[in-house]
Structure 1
């Protein structure tokens, strides 16, 4: 636990949150700045800055819980899709976002918005030789 981490302080009960679920490994609560109503954060209770550092058992629990929330959100809001992603941009404590998607661009990158909010633009695709180079580099690091 880190005393200067807002999420660790929420886990410890030092800051309020709209808690939705809690067990020995993780905590789920509503995002204070939601993309859509129901936008939920799921965090490991132990402090991990990066999602790739979360122990496998905790990662599996977060994913399973994300799936439960997705089913609940689909039932509550009648959406076809629920997004699950990690960003870690504003709080240096790994956290998954679960967002009911009412619009295709609720969680889009600017790369997909070249044709505006009502369109969907695929970013340019690198040629096959560039994709082969990138794939080779990543496979070597695995």
Structure 2
């Protein structure tokens, strides 16, 4: 399965989900395998939240959404992950809106737009394409 990474550091990665709710929907995932977010070390939890904020700011720059939403559901896979989603309304925070048929070209464009916004903001953690 192709991975479209936009961020890598020594504690976390960020990549586009394969079934986005909206353009630019990413997941912030710790490198350390932790099943439930409640079990995260507080320092790692704070780091993941900071990365989510940075990427959310890049989503605003790249896609101009009304807001950026955050979901920590934890039911899909046994590994903590934060969904960071550009939204226009609270109704957009529904996994029923996920699009598993989004095109590769659209996903590639979204990933590059996020990487460009992260680079423009001076972040060295931008993942290579």
What TM-score do you get using the length of structure 2 for normalisation? 0.68
Q: Max radius of gyration: which structure?
A: 1
- Residue 97 of structure 1, aligned match among 65, 83, 91: 83
- Residue 31 of structure 1, aligned match among 17, 20, 30: 17
What is the root-mean-square deviation of aligned Cα atoms in Å?
1.9
Q: Distance in 1 between matches of 2:95 and 2:3?
A: 28
1:46-103 alpha-carbon deviations (Å, 9 max, x no partner) = 1111001111111111101111111111122211210112111211111000000023
Please name the residue that 1:138 is paired with: none
Q: How many residues align?
A: 96
Matched, 1:45 2:31: yes
Q: Distance in 2 between matches of 1:104 and 1:76?
A: 20
Considering Cα pairs closer than 8 Å and 6+ residues apart, tell me whether 1 or 2 has the greater RCO. 2
What TM-score do you get using the length of structure 1 for normalisation? 0.62
**Deviation above 3 Å: which 4+ runs of structure 1?**
none
Structure 1 unaligned residues grouped into runs of 5+: 1-14, 111-142
